[in-house]
Amino acid sequence: QLLGNPYHYRDMGSRTMQAELAERLPPSELYRRTGIQSLPFNTLNQLLRMQDERPWMLENARTLLMTPDLLRFFLTGEKQNEYTIASTSQCLSIETSDWDTTLFEQLGLPSHMLAPVVRPGTPGGTLRTSIQQELGVGPIEAIAIAEHDTASAMIATGGKPGVAFLSLGTWGLLGTLVERPIVSQDAFHANIANEGGVGGTWRFLRNIMGLWLLEQCRIAWRKRDIVFDHAEMVRLTDEADPLRGFFDPDDPRLIDPPDLPEAIGALAGIDPNETDAILRAVTDSLAMKSRYVLESIEHAAGIRFPGLHVLGGGSKNTSLCQAMANALGRPVWAGPAEATAIGNLLLQMRATGEIASIEEGAALVADNRSIQRFDPVDIARWQSAYETYCEQLGLAGAA
């Protein structure tokens, strides 16, 4: 039985806990131990909030499950936490890839509720008898796939280190796969995470805001009877003058404002009623921030990437992909849009013996996926604009 409903990650309550945690444990020490970037919605902050506001829930809790694992529990009755999603909680030791029970003790959190951590591809139990009967099926085995969507998306590319990727949907997760975690001071100050990957790899990445900005603008305009679909949004963006105004997509004032176009207009110096200009500002600002984060990751990892591979639904936004190529001054490869679903399926196929390796599975789908290449144009103009962007936002490292 659930003790309570989950909070939305945009709920502001955990921001207080993020600051309180920093007072109780030096952020640099927490990063060295867990390798995870500091974000208000991390599971650790949620647990501390529960400890502060509803301690009875922790006292009565038997098991802590991440959301995908909770769904699998409903299907099978098995209580496990899959590694790639558990690694994002800021509760796993980067040394052991298991729960940091010492951390729980330091913070006064109960560790008895921690379920076993299992690797992606592990059998996750058999469908409950009651569900089998309801569906008229036999005993189907559930597989604990790479439950973090970005971890699954990386499988679709073959899951090899040395490639820069941006898994782009509501959020953008930009990074690369590495063979060992990087917890240097450069990585800490750049707020780069080391999240668990498949096959002994780590996802060295940073969260940035994604297509949520465009979608929330569309919703706000719909309330004013200004209605258009995604294709129309791309057309309006292409027709608008680029590089008119910028803002930081990760500005805290954009987390959940009452009117997002108004908030963006105020930050970028653009009339919020100019829908095409707002769309263009969002597109250009996302492209600029992507370059900044990519260069931060290159600096921390000591790698120079030839370009950027955009995965997920955002790969279908041709305006944004072209803007990213322009901002980076390097090519962008876009697709497949269904990378997460493909990776999910490939891992199940490996677990059931239908393929021998992830590489074999990635080769199977390589000929069937549509990858579009975007080469940079107006490089000098975008370089100058990027330097202005960094100066306006007070970002170091414009190259």
Whole-angstrom distance, CA of residue 21 vs CA of residue 44: 9
Q: Which residues pair with 206 in a beta bridge?
A: 174
**Interhelix angle for 379-393 vs 275-301, to 10°?**
80
Whole-angstrom distance, CA of residue 30 vs CA of residue 48: 14
Among the listed residues 219, 244, 206, 223, the one whose alpha carbon sits nearest the alpha carbon of residue 323: 244
Contact predicate 166/310, CB 8 Å: yes
Residue 333 backbone phi and psi in degrees, to 5: -105, 130
Torsion, Cα 273 276 278 281, to 10 degrees, reads -160
Options 149, 229, 241, 284, the catalytic residue: 149
Whole-angstrom distance, CA of residue 157 vs CA of residue 363: 9
Exposed e or buried b for every residue in 83-113, given b needs 16+ CB within 10 A? bbbbbbbbbbebeebebbeebbeeeebeeeb
* Residues 6 or more apart whose Cβ sits within 8 Å of residue 123: 141, 142, 143, 144, 351
Q: Which residues pair with 176 in a beta bridge?
A: 164, 204
For the chain, how are helix, strand and coil distributed in percent, rounded to 5?
Answer: 50, 15, 40
Rg (CA), the chain: 22
- Residue 149 annotated among the catalytic residues of the structure: yes
Cβ-based burial of 365 (10 A; exposed 0-12, middle 13-18, buried ≥19) = middle
Could you give the residue numbers annotated as active site?
149
